[in-house]
């Protein structure tokens, strides 16, 4: 589902005066946006799913209408019902003028795994020893490799900044999530963060990636999850949107020229 973009009639994004800004690096300055449609969302069901309202929540706190291309069930590299990198192709075909992106992904590589390619993959969400299972390690490695290639492609097509957010600790023993999903999430999280943190250097200063860890956002809040599910409910997605928008503001990405912190 795409969000309509009557962006030129929208108010500017929030005032950043008085806030401490996170300057990525001397060689990189975020580009100012002129229209909300210059910000796009890519990922899986943690962005776009029936249990929650994350795109609407992010638009609300940003006072914007960002473009949403995320599809529930899509994976980063293997498994899933489709490919998150293909969402970028769709967005570029519709309108290539994208300066900033919000991205998640990698969960469905495990949850909806390719059991023909990875026979042990059922254990990745069910075994407490999943970080030591070779197929689980391979799945995570491939997801990281494709994420790196996708970030490089984003830089190549002119996207200047990305917020990449990673999953919280989710309820155990659910139908979708399996018996022990958090062990593999804990294994994958530092690898995802390292990939994001290394993007500025990897792209020669063209693209900065700003990481958001959702674990502390959800910690102590079981009420943020839909019943018997690993997905957020509207309360959870509102908290996610607040965390993502705070990172966007502190990094000065997806902001208007009036903010004074971005490159016109």
Collect all residues with Cβ–Cβ distance below 8 Å to 158 and sequence separation of at least 6.
96, 98, 99
Report if residue 71 sits inside a domain.
yes
Percent of the chain with pLDDT over 70: 90
Strand partners, 101: 40, 162
* pLDDT digit string, tens, across residues 94-107: 999 999 999 999 99
Q: Please list the residues that pair with 162 across neighbouring strands.
A: 101, 209
Q: What pLDDT sits at residue 20? A: 37
Within-domain flag for 145: yes
pLDDT (0 to 100) of residue 26: 52
The reply to whether 147 falls in a domain is yes
pLDDT at 9: 35
Q: Report yes or no on 98 lying in a domain.
A: yes
Query: Residue 55: which domain range?
Result: 31-259
pLDDT recorded at residue 8:
33
* CATH code where residue 153 lies: 3.40.50.1110
> Does residue 89 lie within any of the structural domains?
yes
Alpha helices by DSSP H, listed for 38-82, are 54-62
- Is the pLDDT at 195 greater than 70? The verdict is yes
Per residue in 74-122, pLDDT (tens digit) is 999 999 999 999 999 999 999 999 999 999 999 999 999 999 999 999 9
Q: CA 190 to CA 78: how far, in whole Å? A: 20
Q: What burial class does residue 208 get, using C-beta atoms within 10 Å of its C-beta: 0-12 exposed, 13-18 middle, 19+ buried?
A: buried
The answer as to whether 247 is a domain residue is yes
Distance CA 246, CA 102 (A): 13
What pLDDT digit, counting tens, does each position of 182-191 carry? Answer: 999 999 999 9
Reply yes or no on whether the pLDDT at 178 is more than 70.
yes
User: How many structural domains comprise the chain?
Assistant: 1
In a domain, 23, yes or no: no
Q: How confident is the model at residue 52 (pLDDT cuts 50, 70, 90)?
A: very high
Q: Span 134-155, mean pLDDT? A: 98
Going by pLDDT thresholds of 50, 70 and 90, the confidence category of residue 131 is very high
User: What pLDDT is recorded for position 28?
Assistant: 84
pLDDT score at 23:
41
Q: Is residue 208 part of a domain?
A: yes
Q: Stretch 228-253: mean pLDDT, rounded?
A: 97
Assess whether pLDDT exceeds 50 at residue 25: no
Q: Quick check: 257 pLDDT over 60?
A: yes
Q: What is the mean pLDDT of residues 226-247?
A: 98
Mean pLDDT of 27-55: 95
């Amino acid at each position: 589902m795409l969000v309509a973009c009557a962006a030129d009639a929208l108010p500017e994004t929030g005032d950043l005066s008085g806030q401490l800004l996170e300057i990525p690096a001397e060689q990189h300055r975020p580009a100012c946006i002129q229209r909300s449609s210059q910000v796009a969302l890519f990922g899986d069901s943690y962005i776009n799913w029936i249990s929650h309202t994350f795109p609407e929540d992010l638009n609300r706190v940003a006072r914007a209408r960002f473009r949403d291309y995320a599809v529930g069930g899509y994976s980063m590299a293997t498994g899933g019902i489709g490919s998150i990198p293909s969402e970028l192709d769709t967005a570029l075909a519709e309108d290539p003028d994208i300066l900033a992106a919000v991205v998640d992904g990698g969960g469905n590589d495990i949850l909806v795994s390719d059991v023909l390619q990875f026979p042990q993959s059922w254990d990745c969400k069910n075994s407490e020893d999943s970080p030591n299972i070779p197929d689980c390690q391979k799945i995570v490695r491939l997801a990281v490799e494709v994420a790196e290639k996708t970030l490089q492609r984003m830089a190549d097509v002119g996207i200047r900044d990305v917020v990449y957010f990673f999953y919280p600790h989710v309820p155990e023993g659910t139908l979708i999530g399996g018996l022990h999903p958090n062990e593999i999430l804990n294994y994958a999280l530092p690898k995802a963060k390292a990939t994001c943190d290394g993007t500025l250097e990897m792209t020669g200063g063209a693209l900065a990636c700003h990481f958001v860890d959702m674990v502390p956002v959800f910690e102590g809040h079981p009420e943020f999850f839909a019943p018997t599910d690993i997905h957020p409910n509207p309360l959870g997605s509102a908290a996610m949107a607040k965390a993502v928008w705070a990172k966007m503001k502190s990094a000065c990405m997806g902001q208007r020229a009036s903010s004074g912190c971005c490159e016109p």
